[in-house]
Structure 1
Amino acid sequence: MNPSPLPLAVFVVDAGGAIASWNKACEKLTGYSAADIRNKTLEQIIEFDLADGCARPIAARVDVDSTGQLRCADSRRLPVRVTIAPQSFDPDQPGTYSVIVIPRAGLAPPRYALIQDLPTADIIEGLPCVFYVIDQSGRLLLWNHLLENALEMTAEELPTCDVQHFFDENDRPDIVAKIVEAFETGQSSHEAELVGKHGKRSSLLFHCARTSLGDLPVIFGTGLDISARKQTEQGLRVRERAIYSSVNAIVITCCENGKNLVEYVNPAFEQMTGYTLAEIKGHDPRFMRIEGCDVHEHKRIHEALKKRESVQAILRNVRKNGEVFWNDLRIDPVSNVDGEVTHFVGVISDITEARHYERRLHHLAHHDPLTGLANRTLLQDELKFSIDFAVRNKVLGALAFLDLDNFKHINDNFGHDAGDEVLREIANRLKMSVRDNDTVARVGGDEFVLVINNQPSHEQLADLIERIRQRVNVPITVAGRDILPGTSIGVSRFPHDGDTVDRVMRAADAAMYHAKALGKNNSQFYSSELNQIVHEHLMLEASLSKAIGNREMVLGYQPKVDLRTGKVVGAEALVRWNHPENGIVLPDKFIPVAEETGLIVPLGEWVIIEACGALKALARLGVHDFVISVNLSARQLRQRQFAAQLARTLGRLGVNPANLELEVTESQLMDHPDEAMEALAELKALGVRLSIDDFGTGYSSLSHLQKFPVDFIKIDRSFLGEVNLDAHAVITRAIIALGHNLKLKVIAEGVETLEQLTFLRTHHCDQMQGHYFSPALSQKSLEEMVCSDTRLPG
């Protein structure tokens, strides 16, 4: 290695410039011995350049670089650079000064001029740490290459710098204090960060010791690079802070003599459990376990610790206040450098709320939110279990479907809040009617299901079902008003009616349908005969959906006669189903199915179009004042665009609206009188005629009747049965009088006898229809009757 120059020539002068001490480097550089130089002055040794002026006082040259010629003993003139600094770090304190003489380029002595004769030279340069020597002025006298690397400076730059400037400005007071401490006490130590010329930073641990070079007091020291250690310490601090601040509870145990004892817990652990570190340090953390609880999980943890392996478990523990909490525990081993496990770290997450939420979700997934009853999902599971139990143990069980008969009426008239209250009360009544091991479920808006287990006999099961029906029928008081519920119940028995969930449910559904078909508010048990009825109903429903498109429907027209003139003035269109296999099917068989399935809407549209076709055919024959009436279903009346659609149909077919009469039953109008009034007003605006069918069988009030924009009322056939009886006669006369007083025409339907006809004429009824005059006719027969002016005898 080629040594680089090392400035070593330093001597001390007093305020007057007299030399007080002289080091070996000066002797080698100038050739003067210490004895030769004694009593000489600075001006005798150094001839300053003219620009600097030799007469300047010493104090004026402090921290000013000067140049000049060093007068050597052999008369040589050696170009040098001179730096003068006070011996104290306090510049205001007068005293002695250090004079540093640095040969200018190309004339420097060997780098090891001071220590070249020492055997430690190579050792100092090869040290794995920074080495330095500092005089009392705070200048470097000696250093190794590691310091140059750390400071990013050359050998020529270092001697003229005050060492405190190698550090951050905020650290400099402490650095000066440590140097002074070493001069005063003999040694000092400190950690500091060197800042290189280009910003490089190195953390070093400095150790300083006082010594002398000849008569010159100095300190020498080393600086060990601790940057890696600092980074490690910073990482440890970060991890320690993370553990301390973690929202998860952390516990560290120490493995000693086969035991795992608590060594540390973080604040989150203290907050979660209520135990402080002081209370539980040195204890086995198992003190929080619940004996006999989560035994399998505790066994897994014990086996993992024994094998020095990681483990994760979910278990319950007890807080200091006695409260049980769920926790997700993760335990990992910690090994030393030899691979020996010395500690375990446990991380605990409090999942109590999550477990409760999970249970709530599970409950919501299997229960009805309004009533708290089981839902369809849970019902399926419970029913399967009950059927399997009944099959294995040869016992009787039952599935009951309950459907509230008038729940829509309750919602419409009392409001949905009242409807919800009714559902909750029905749910409570059902739960009170069965045992804890039975199941009560809500599977639809007003549909409930009971799974009844282990019944002693069929008779006792029937008694129980009837008691349940009667209990449901008890009035419910909501907001001071009594609401009367009713229910239809269909019951299947297992394994008698089926040994699978699907069969048992289909059987109960069939029984429910039969209960509703029999007039509601009753209970029916499944039977093979019932199955046949339901099958026929389903087949009828399937056939009906095709019948309209296959043109299997036909219209008959029953003539309407003016009772004053006997003339046929109109007809009622009556739909019949000409089934390809079963022949003519009467309306009372298929109209309820059409209403139930919604097929009544396309069927009604077909009837209107056919009736309009008949009107057009009569018009071509010259009959223009004939009226055909068509029955309107509740579904059609409630359609938002029905009036507009009817107007388009009449316009497209070219039919005068005044020739079409729409019949609406009294009960249809009174279900929703305000809506019905609005719908009738729209129809009346088209110019069609309107009549109330089956009048007297409903519950209409006179105030509503006055407001409905109708033209006719029809006396229901039930009031004409025995007109010679006072009861029937009174009602019929009252209806005729009421209609006339409201300026409405009155039509009697179902007239079959001369007595009935005579009674109607006597009391001035306007029109009649019935078999006494004519049954329903085909369109061709009707045309012949009208064109031939066939009349009712006078």
Structure 2
Amino acid sequence: MNLSPLPLAVFVVDASGGITSWNRACEKLAGYPAAEMRGRTLGDLVEFDDKAGKNASIQARVDQDSAGTLVCADGRRVPVRVTVAPQSLDIEQQGSFSVIIVPRGATAPSRYALIQDLPVNDVIEGLPCVFYVVDQSGRLLLWNHQLEEALEMPSEDLPTVEVKYFFDETNRAAIVQKILDAFEQGASWHEAELVGRHGKRTSYLFQCARTSVGSLPCVFGTGLDITMRKEAEHVLKVRERAIFASVNAICITCCDGPDNRIEYVNPAFERITGYTLAEIKGRDPRFMRIEGCDSGEHKRIHEALRKKQSVRSVLRNARKDGEVFYNDLRIDPVMNADGEVTHFVAVINDVTEARHYERRLHHLAHHDPLTGLANRTLLQERLKQAIQHATRNHTTGALAFMDLDNFKHINDNLGHDVGDAVLRETAERLRANMREEDTVARVGGDEFVLVICDQGSPEQVADLVERVRRSVGRPILLDGKEVVSGTSIGVALFPRDGGSVDKVMRAADAAMYHAKSLGKNNCQFFSAELNRLVHEHLLLEASLGRAIGNSEMVLGYQPKVDLRSGKMVGAEALVRWNHPEHGLMGPDSFIPVAEQTGLIVPLGEWVIDEACRALQALHAQGIEDFVISVNLSLRQLRQRQFVDRLADSLRRHGVSPPCLELEVTESLLMERPEEAKEVMARLKKLGVRLSIDDFGTGYSSLSQLQAFPVDHIKIDRSFLCNVDSNGHSVITRAIIALGHSLKLKVIAEGVETREQVAFLRDHHCDQMQGYYFSPALSQQGLADMVSRGVTLHS
């Protein structure tokens, strides 16, 4: 048989093992000429190593990698690996089998040695693509090194694996069909990814053609690496989808010649203009312009296109139905690889609504959209005019700041819709009580301002403002329910209390906050005394900011005692201000200012750092099981990075998180319970302890209390003032029982008498703090007391 030499010895045998054909490589390896091969069986040439040996059927060895010894014509015995596969990929046409014999060990000639007999060796190995020859069993007979690299497999492994397994499982059926197509139809092609043994993936364009080597039908072909083409196609598809999905209209024109003809428009263009691509393809986009409108802009665009430059303009166009729309247009040139402009891309944004909106801006810029009242901008203009008029004509005017007292409660409990209805009704009542020449404004969520002109005396102003307060305070009927919203009012007279807008507004604002501090739902006028208090407040605010940076703050530590053992188990850090002029100031004199100004955040960070430093010092003395608690404000809890900064402080000072306890008052938690739960969950995850301070003074429900991941609750000192009183003792006992039922430890603060200690012990309170045991101590004093082991009993 005149078979071309191939790198692998291949037999074709029938079902009984009789050899029906072979290739030259087989003759060369075994040393038998063609005449002597006829009539032999596979068992005559190969001694198999397995126990079944030559008695095993051909069918039993299909798809198995068997080891054996090839008996050569000259007596040599060559160790070989034998692979048997059905002759056809089509299981319905089986009956003969391909037997591939590959030498094993050092005696085996390499694939590169065998391929030397091929005259096209250099060509095949030098191809810029993969090359392969596949027999009807779907296994490789010949390949080049590019295929080995793509599959990440050595040459000796390639013929033992069916070709379909070089691809993803989902593609294998299609691959087999393509090979069958080549056998049946003479040729086929397909695109697919080769999958390497170690996961490498390469996209190829495969071209297959049918041939035969002697009587052995084969398919040979090439695979061209198209990875870069696939990537480029992907990028183009993404860009095409982006253009297609863009909310802005896009039009691409070709500038071949004097006109710019439409080649493509996206769906947004069709939606905005009403024209489909089929209707306008090949037309000049200028057909949409409105003659006589925006002539200057049209001329400017035409000149830019003539110079092949970018241009932007806002002009009017007509939709298909004739409706005029404002078009924010941007046109840019597109160049080919040679730098020549071949196309223009126009991006169209329909700004008709924006133009209409501009017409309403003047009103919106001067009026509140919810109530229709004047806003802050118009208020300041009207107030400036009123002050100038009062100064020029020696009359009295007034500015009244109003704040609804319980509006937040209405919003939180009845919903924003009810809140909006309350604001609108309040606005109507204010309009009804004011004259046409006066101004009613809304400047914030629940803040209203009145500018009252030409009043004869402060008494007249007071009468008017009181009438307004009563009117606003009347119940509002909404959906069959009465909603009551009182108001606090602060009044400043001009020009008496100020000759400028800023001064008068600050005076009225200060008066309003004074009214709120006096119990709300009342009216207060600005006065010299109030001015003095405001001035002191501002000075305190300014000096407080400096105090934090000037080390004027000090911490005292009030010990906490376990009521069962009497031992000190922790301490609460209490901040004091060592003022250079006023001496040592308690927290009540500056903490509210810190809360209002936001200085509570840096102050709180300083307190946490100092407490961690104290814990570090105690640990250095061998005092490990000791907890220091610090108070937190709601502003601190709302800081986005608070938990991260706390973790950093603990890490820097080498403090174990369970040694630090954070106390938050019950009333603060109830302001924004959901937000508080989220932050406290993160703090709990960090490992610090959590405590609810002043428990019993807020309005938390049992279900809400259970939702907070706290360790302790602290009984407010007000419940210990008179434990002999039956009312107080009942509440205190109930709080202790409630805490224990929730598996929380209960701490009593402000303990000052022996009777209070006895009461707490009798009712199994866990811990106490207060002057009965010790006032607040310095860090050194605390360390000395702990080191000496001072107890409640001693």
Instruction: Tell me the TM-score range normalised by the shorter chain.
Output: 0.5 to 0.7
Q: CA deviation at 1:363?
A: 3.2
Deviations 1:712-742 (A, max 9, x none): 1111011111111111111111111111121
Give the structure 1 partner of residue 769 of structure 2: 769
Query: Unmatched 5+ residue regions in structure 2?
Result: 1-290, 295-354
Counterpart CA distance in 2 for 1:601 and 1:580 is 22
Aligned match of 1:468: 468
Instruction: Report the CA distance shift for 1:622/1:458 in structure 2 as closer, same or farther (over 3 A).
Output: same
> Does the residue aligned with 2:401 lie in a helix, a strand or coil?
strand
SS in 2 for 1:402: strand
> For residue 91 of structure 1, what is the aligned residue in structure 2?
none
Q: How does 1:328-727 map to 2 (within 5 A)?
A: 361-478=361-478, 483-727=483-727
Deviation at 1:565, TM superposition (A): 1.7
Alignment of 1:235-314 (within 5 A): none
Moved more, 528-537 or 644-653: 644-653
Q: Take 2:683 and 2:358, find their aligned partners in 1: how far apart are those partners?
A: 56
Deviation at 1:618, TM superposition (A): 0.7
Task: Give the Cα separation in 2 of the matches to 1:357 and 1:717.
Answer: 59
Conservation of the 8 A alpha-carbon contact between 1:401 and 1:450: yes
Distance 1:756 1:402 in 2: 46
Q: What CA deviation, in whole Å up to 9, does each residue of 1:64-123 have, x standing for no partner? A: xxxxxxxxxxxxxxxxxxxxxxxxxxxxxxxxxxxxxxxxxxxxxxxxxxxxxxxxxxxx
Query: Is this contact kept in 2: 1:387–1:499, CA < 8 A?
Result: yes
Distance 2:565 2:357 in 1: 81
Q: Structure 2 vs 1, CA of residues 667 and 358 (structure 1 numbering), >3 Å: closer, same or farther? A: closer
Could you tell me how far apart the structure 1 residues matched to 2:407 and 2:385 are? 31
| Distance verdict in 2 for CA 1:371–1:778, change over 3 Å | same
1:406 is displaced (CA, Å) by 4.1
Give per-residue Cα distances to partners, 1:655-688, cap 9 Å, x unaligned: 0111111111111222222222222222112221
- Partner-residue secondary structure (3-state), 1:534: helix
Q: Which moved more, 1:387-396 or 1:543-552?
A: 387-396
Given the alignment of the two structures, is residue 746 of structure 1 paired with residue 746 of structure 2, yes or no? yes
Render the CA deviation track for 1:422-468: whole Å, top value 9, x for unaligned. Answer: 32222112111222221111223332110112334333422332332
Deviation at 1:512, TM superposition (A): 2.1
Using the alignment, how far apart are the partners of 1:645 and 1:566 within structure 2? 35
Deviation, 1:479, is: 5.5
| SS at structure 2 position matched to 1:533 | helix
Q: Which amino acid aligns with 1:585?
A: M
**What amino acid is aligned across from residue 667 of structure 1 in structure 2?**
S
- Offset, 1:414: 4.3
Q: Conserved in 2, the CA contact under 8 Å of 1:511 and 1:526?
A: yes
- The separation in 2 between residues aligned to 1:593 and 1:648, in whole angstroms, is 27
- Measured after TM superposition, the shift of residue 775 of structure 1 is 1.0
If the length of structure 2 is used for normalisation, what is the TM-score?
0.53
Unmatched 5+ stretches in structure 1:
1-244, 249-354
Q: Give the Cα separation in 2 of the matches to 1:770 and 1:509.
A: 40
Percent identity over the alignment?
72
Structural mapping, 1:183-202, within 5 Å: none
Tell me: CA distance 1:641–1:358, structure 2 relative to 1, closer, same or farther (3 Å). closer
The code of the aligned residue for 2:492 comes to: S
Instruction: State the alpha-carbon separation in 2 of the partners of residues 691 and 402 from structure 1.
Output: 37
Q: How many Å separate the matches in 2 of 1:572 and 1:773? A: 13
Give the Cα–Cα distance (whole angstroms) in 2 for the partners of residues 420 and 504 of structure 1.
Answer: 29
CA contact (8 A) 1:560 1:569 kept: yes
Distance 1:405 1:502, change over 3 A: same
Aligned-partner residue type, residue 768 of structure 1: M
Give me the whole-angstrom Cα distance separating, in 2, the residues matched to 1:452 and 1:639: 41
In structure 1, what is the Cα distance between the partners aligned to 2:380 and 2:708? 50
Determine the structure 1 residue equivalent to 2:732: 732
1:409 deviates by 4.4
Quote the Cα distance in structure 1 between the aligned partners of 2:424 and 2:521.
19
Question: Aligned pair in 2 of structure 1 residues 674, 434: CA closer, same or farther (>3 Å)?
Answer: same
User: CA offsets per residue over residues 349-379 of structure 1, 9 Å max, x none?
Assistant: xxxxxx9999855433332222211222322
* Superposition map of 1:42-81 within 5 A: none
Q: Distance in 1 between matches of 2:414 and 2:550?
A: 44
Shift in alpha-carbon separation, 1:547–1:437, aligned structure 2, 3 A: same
CA–CA distance in structure 1, aligned partners of residues 405 and 423 of structure 2: 13
1:771 aligned partner, one-letter code: Y
- Pick which of 479-488 and 707-716 moved more: 479-488
2-structure distance, mates of 1:764, 1:246: 92
Hey, what's the Cα distance between the residues in 2 that align with 1:706 and 1:364? 47
Change (3 A) 1:675 1:356: closer
- In the TM superposition, what is the alpha-carbon distance from 1:390 to its structure 2 partner? 3.1
Q: Distance in 2 between matches of 1:246 and 1:744?
A: 82
CA separation in 2, counterparts of 1:613 and 1:246? Answer: 79
Q: 1:482 offset after TM fit, Å? A: 5.0
Deviations 1:150-172 (A, max 9, x none): xxxxxxxxxxxxxxxxxxxxxxx
1-side partners of 2:383 and 2:643: how far apart? 49
Larger Rg: 1
Residue 568 (structure 1) shift: 1.2
Q: Following TM superposition, by how much is the alpha carbon of 1:472 offset from its aligned partner in structure 2, in angstroms?
A: 2.3
**Could you say if the C-alpha distance between residues 670 and 620 of structure 1 is closer, same or farther in structure 2, counting changes exceeding 3 Å?**
same
d(CA) in 2 for partners of 1:428, 1:745: 53
SS of 1:548's partner is: helix
Q: Is the 8 A contact 1:514 1:534 kept in 2?
A: no
Q: Residues 781 and 443 (structure 1 numbering): CA distance in 2 closer, same or farther, change over 3 Å?
A: same
AA matched with 1:398: A
Q: Which amino acid in the other structure matches residue 602 of structure 1?
A: P
State the one-letter code of the partner of 1:440.
V
Partner Cα distance (2:674, 2:365) in 1: 40
C-alpha distance after superposition, 1:519-548 (max 9, x if no partner)? 443321100010010011111111112221
SS at match of 1:755: helix
Residue-by-residue CA offset, 1:600-658 (whole Å, 9 max, x unaligned): 11111111111011111111111111110111111222233322332222122210111
Superposition map of 1:36-47 within 5 A: none
Q: Whole-Å Cα distance in 1 between the matches of residues 496 and 359 of structure 2?
A: 36
Match of 1:624, SS? Answer: coil
Q: Write the distance in 1 (CA, Å) between the matches of 2:509 and 2:517.
A: 12
Amino acid aligned to 2:700: S
Distance 1:680 1:358, change over 3 A: closer
Q: Matched residue of 2:590: which SS?
A: helix
Matching residue's letter, 1:770? G
Report the counterpart of residue 120 of structure 1 in structure 2: none
Matches of 1:641 and 1:406, distance apart in 2: 31
8 Å CA contact 1:367–1:373 kept in 2: the answer is: yes
Aligned residues: 445
Structure 2 CA distance, aligned partners of 1:786 and 1:246? 93
Give the Cα separation in 2 of the matches to 1:743 and 1:661: 17
Quick one: structure 1 residues 733 and 392, their matched pair in 2 at CA, closer, same or farther if it must change by over 3 Å?
same
